[in-house]
Structure 1
Amino acid sequence: MLAGDDTQSLKRTPLYALHLARGGKMVPFAGYDMPVQYAPGVLKEHLHTRNAAGLFDVSHMGQIELRAKSGKLEDAARALEALIPQDIVALPPGRQRYAQFTNESGGILDDLMVTNLGDRLFLVVNAACKTEDEAHLRAHLSDACDITALTDRALIALQGPKAEAALAKFCADVAKMKFMDVAELSLDGLPCIVSRSGYTGEDGFEISVPADGAERLATALLDNPDVLPIGLGARDSLRLEAGLCLYGHDIDTATTPVEAALSWSIQKSRRSGGARPAGFLGASAILSQLDGGTARLRVGLRPEGRAPVRENAPLFASADSAEPVGTVTSGGFGPSLNAPVAMGYVPAALTARDTVVFAEVRGQRLPLRVAAMPFVPNTYKR
C-alpha cells in the first residue's frame, strides 16, 4: 500500500501540521507525507469508524473541474464520455457517479468520481494518477472544455454512523442528502462541495474545502468526541472489508472494468444496443466482454485459517497444482470480522461462491473460499 518515496521530496497536504499535532505516524504515500495511524492504532481506528465517525485527510487526491467552452454542461458531459464508459449526459445536477478512465485496449487508467454541479463537472481522481489524468483530459478534451486543476482545495472524508450528526452541526441540510448526492454548502463559513459518499462502506461525506480553511474545519469536526482522526492503515482495511478497489493493486492498465467486476458501473445507455454504446476508448474490448464474458474476474476471498493472505500471493486451483491460475491483489485482516479477507483474480470457472482455491504463502498452500462482497454490509443512506 505504501510507496517508497524519497522523504526529502514529499509533498504535504494543508492538514500536515494537524497530523503532527495529533500524533500521526507519517509515511510516504503517492508522493505525500501522510499519516498511516495515530496513537489508538489501526485496529481501534478501524472499529471507531464503523461505530462512530472517523475523519480522513484525502487532500492528496486530485480535484479537477470541466467547463464546456460552449457554456452547455451537456457538451462537457459528452466530451468526457469519450474517455469513460459511463453515462454522464444523463447524470442529474447534484449527483455523482463512479467511473473509470480507460485506454484503447479497455484497461483502466484510473478510477474516479464525476459530479454534475449544474454549470460544471467536478472530478476527483487518485493521487498517484492525477498528473497523468489531467494530461489525458487536456490531450483529448481541450477543444471542447476548459480544464482546471483545483490545487487550492483540500479534501477530507467524514465516515461512519455518526458522521451525519457531526456534520449537521455545521449545516442542517446535510441530513437531507442521500448516497451520491452532492451540494455546494457553507460549513463553518467556508464554501464547500459536499458529497454523501466515501471509501469505507459506511455512510459519510467527502468535503472539498478551500485549502486555507481546511485545518479550521477539520479541527472543528474533531472537537466532537464522536470524531477521531483516522490514518491510511484503517482506510485500507475499511475499503478492503467494503470490497472496494484500490488503483494500482486491484485495477490497473491491464485490467478492464468487466474483469474487475465493475460492470455494474456501466449504464445500459453505454452498452451494446444503448443510446451511446461506442465512442469511448476501449469500447470494442469492453462491450465484447459485457456481451460475451471474460476469462477472469475479481472475486472476494475468505482464508479458512487465521493467517492473512497478502497482495501478490499466487492462487492455485488445488493444493498440488503446478501452475498458478490467479493472484491476490489485496489482502489483510478484517477487524470488523475478526478474520482475514482478500480480493484477487481467478478464472471465470472458479468464481462460484464457496469455490476453494489455494494461496501459496511461505511455501505452504492455504485454502481460501470465494465469497460475496462486500465482506461487511454497507450502510449507505439510500
Structure 2
Amino acid sequence: MSAPADSSALLQTPLNALHLELGARMVPFAGYSMPVQYPEGLMAEHHHTRRSAGLFDVSHMGQLLLSGPDAAAAFESLMPVDVIGLGVNKQRYGLLLNDAGGIIDDLMFVNRGDHIYVVVNGACKHGDLAHIQARIGGRCTITPQFDRALLALQGPLAVSALQRLLPGVENLVFMTGHGFNWNGADLYVTRSGYTGEDGFEISVPAASADAFARALLAQPEVKPIGLGARNSLRLEAGLCLYGNDIDTTTTPVEAALNWAMQKVRRTGGERAGGFPGADVVLAQLDGTRPLMRKRVGLVALERVPVREHVELQSLDGAKIGEVTSGLLGPSADKPVAMGYVSPELAAAGTRVNALVRGKAVPMEVAPMPFVPNRYYRG
C-alpha cells in the first residue's frame, strides 16, 4: 500500500505543514507523505486514543458523490450490500467486488438524501473511480472530491471535544451522519471510524482543514495521532486493512465479512444476487462451494510479535496459511494477529504454530475484536 520512496513524487494532504510543525515523522503511504508518528511515539498515541481523543489525518482517502434518481440502485449493483434500503443520513460498510468475487476495495457510504457520499481507501481511489465510472457511469453522476480533507477524531472523549466546535454533533449515534457549518465551511460528519472507539470522521474543504485541525488540537482532550497507532488500534478492533487482510484474491466469505452482506442481497427476492461475483459468493455462503481458507483472529501464547507474511503451520508442521496483520497489541498487552487458515482449523481455541525466524511460536485462534469495541449506539 505504500508509495515509492521518492519523496518528490509524493502528494501532500492539506495538513502537511501542520504535521511538520508538530514534529511528525513522515513516510510514504498510498502515494502521499503521511505522519506515521509524532514525538511522543506510537505507544503513547495508541493509549491516548483509547483513553481520551486522538486526531488522525486521513485525507489520503478518496471521497466521491453519486447523484441522480438511479444512484442507489446503480451503486447496489456493484456490491453485495443493501444500498436502496439505507435511510437518510445512515452509514453502511460496503465491498466493491470483481467478477470472481474478489474484493476490489472496502468502503463506507452514507445516504445523504439527494446523493450517496462514499469514502474509499487512498491507495485504491483512482482505480475505484475508474471501476465505478465504467460500470455505472451511464446511470448516475459520479463526482470525485479528492481535494477535500478528511479528519478522524477517535476516542471516548472525542464527543466532548467536537461538540464545543460543532454543537449538536453529540446527537449522532454510531453509523449516522449530518452536515454542519464551521466558520463558513460546510462539513459533513459521521459518527464512525476505524479504531473500535467512539469517534467521528469529518469531511472538510481543503481551505478550512488546517484551521479546523488546529481548533481541535486546542481542545484539552485532543492530541495528534499517526498511521502507526491507527494500525495498532484497528488491528485490536479486528478490522481489516485493505492490501493486507483483504484484496482482489479474497472473497467476503473467506474474509469472514458475511455480516456486511444484508439478507435482502443474499437469499430469495428480486434484489438477491446480481452483483459482480455473485455466483461465487452465494455458493460459498450456502456451502455448495467449499472454502479453501478463512480469516481468523490469532493470539500468540508466547510474548513474541508475529507479523504479516509469517507462515502458519498445523501442529504436525503442515503449512495451513499466513498471517496478514500482526503486532504486540498495546491495549491487549499480548501479541495479536489476523490471518488465513484452512477452514477446519478456524474454530476459536484451535492451536497452530507461526514460523518466526525459523522458530515455531504457538498461537491460538481467538475471537475478534481483541479489545472490546466502544461504539456509541445511543
Q: TM-score range by the shorter chain?
A: over 0.9
User: Is residue 143 of structure 1 aligned with residue 152 of structure 2?
Assistant: no
In the TM superposition, residue 202 of structure 1 has moved relative to its aligned partner by 0.2
- Residue from 176, 184, 192 that aligns with 2:179: 184
Counterpart position of 1:82: 77
Counterpart position of 2:23: 23
- AA aligned to 1:28 is P
Counterpart position of 1:213: 208
Counterpart position of 2:250: 255
State the TM-score, normalized to the length of structure 1.
Answer: 0.96
- AA aligned to 2:215 is A
- Residue from 277, 282, 307 that aligns with 1:282: 277
Q: Which runs of 5+ in 1 are unaligned?
A: none
Counterpart position of 1:173: 168
Contact 2:2 2:31 (8 Å CA) reproduced: no
User: Is residue 97 of structure 1 aligned with residue 84 of structure 2?
Assistant: no
User: Is residue 306 of structure 1 aligned with residue 325 of structure 2?
Assistant: no
- AA aligned to 2:29 is F
Q: Which moved more, 1:194-203 or 1:178-187?
A: 178-187
Counterpart position of 1:264: 259
User: Is residue 375 of structure 1 aligned with residue 367 of structure 2?
Assistant: no
In the TM superposition, residue 3 of structure 1 has moved relative to its aligned partner by 4.7
- Residue from 291, 299, 304 that aligns with 1:294: 291
Return the alpha-carbon distance in structure 2 between the equivalents of residues 28 and 151 of structure 1.
18
Return the alpha-carbon distance in structure 2 between the equivalents of residues 204 and 300 of structure 1.
24
Q: Which runs of 5+ in 2 are unaligned?
A: none
Counterpart position of 2:12: 12
Contact 2:3 2:32 (8 Å CA) reproduced: no
Mapping 1:88-167, distance limit 5 Å: 88-167=83-162
State the TM-score, normalized to the length of structure 2.
Answer: 0.97
- Residue from 201, 204, 217 that aligns with 1:222: 217
Contact 1:32 1:60 (8 Å CA) reproduced: yes
- AA aligned to 1:265 is A
In the TM superposition, residue 335 of structure 1 has moved relative to its aligned partner by 0.4
In the TM superposition, residue 295 of structure 1 has moved relative to its aligned partner by 2.7
Return the alpha-carbon distance in structure 1 between the equivalents of residues 87 and 95 of structure 2.
19
In the TM superposition, residue 358 of structure 1 has moved relative to its aligned partner by 0.5
Counterpart position of 2:195: 200
Contact 1:268 1:274 (8 Å CA) reproduced: no
Return the alpha-carbon distance in structure 2 between the equivalents of residues 359 and 4 of structure 1.
30
Q: 1:274 to 1:328 in 2, by over 3 A?
A: farther
Q: Deviations over 1:285-328 (max 9, x none)?
A: 0111111152321000000011100000010111x41x311000
Q: Which moved more, 1:26-35 or 1:272-281?
A: 272-281
Contact 1:193 1:208 (8 Å CA) reproduced: yes
SS at match of 1:175: helix
In the TM superposition, residue 354 of structure 1 has moved relative to its aligned partner by 1.0
Return the alpha-carbon distance in structure 1 between the equivalents of residues 5 and 286 of structure 2.
42
Counterpart position of 1:273: 268
- AA aligned to 2:309 is N
Counterpart position of 2:338: 343
Q: Deviations over 1:36-63 (max 9, x none)?
A: 0001100000000000000000000000
SS at match of 2:273: coil
Mapping 1:34-45, distance limit 5 Å: 34-45=34-45
Return the alpha-carbon distance in structure 2 between the equivalents of residues 98 and 152 of structure 1.
22
Return the alpha-carbon distance in structure 2 between the equivalents of residues 200 and 34 of structure 1.
18
SS at match of 2:319: coil
Counterpart position of 1:59: 59
- AA aligned to 2:193 is G
SS at match of 1:325: strand
Q: Deviations over 1:310-356 (max 9, x none)?
A: 000010111x41x3110000001100022110000011111111100
In the TM superposition, residue 170 of structure 1 has moved relative to its aligned partner by 1.4
Return the alpha-carbon distance in structure 2 between the equivalents of residues 308 and 275 of structure 1.
48
Return the alpha-carbon distance in structure 1 between the equivalents of residues 359 and 166 of structure 2.
54
- AA aligned to 1:332 is L
In the TM superposition, residue 277 of structure 1 has moved relative to its aligned partner by 1.2
SS at match of 1:255: coil
Contact 1:97 1:113 (8 Å CA) reproduced: yes
SS at match of 1:172: coil
Return the alpha-carbon distance in structure 2 between the equivalents of residues 364 and 151 of structure 1.
45
- AA aligned to 2:312 is L
Percent sequence identity over matched residues?
Answer: 57
In the TM superposition, residue 4 of structure 1 has moved relative to its aligned partner by 4.2
Return the alpha-carbon distance in structure 2 between the equivalents of residues 134 and 24 of structure 1.
31
Return the alpha-carbon distance in structure 1 between the equivalents of residues 6 and 274 of structure 2.
41
Return the alpha-carbon distance in structure 2 between the equivalents of residues 43 and 171 of structure 1.
30
